[in-house]
Amino acid sequence: MNKDGDRIQAPAFKVEVVDTTGAGDGWNAGLIIGLCKGWDLKKCITVVNVIGALIVTKRGAITAMPYEEELIEFLKRVL
């Protein structure tokens, strides 16, 4: 919910899961970065859902973290 009490929702993305290690860590890290950059919650949640989706398509935790270019390309394909 945002500060006004409005519920914020964003889509989960359907991907082929290889390994879930690091998905939550990446999601949380992305949220912190988005909030620090001043993004609204809708943008934050959409981006972190992409981060989580991309991470689970690879093996490992740190090595699965996506680069900004991967996020942008994924968003272009799904939105």
64: number of Cβ within 10 Å: 21
Q: CA-to-CA distance for 35 and 74, rounded, in angstroms?
A: 21
Q: Which of 4, 6, 25, 40 is catalytic?
A: 25
Structure tokens at 4: 């006004």
For this structure, is 4 an active site residue?
no
Q: CA-to-CA distance for 51 and 25, rounded, in angstroms?
A: 10
Q: Which residues are catalytic?
A: 25
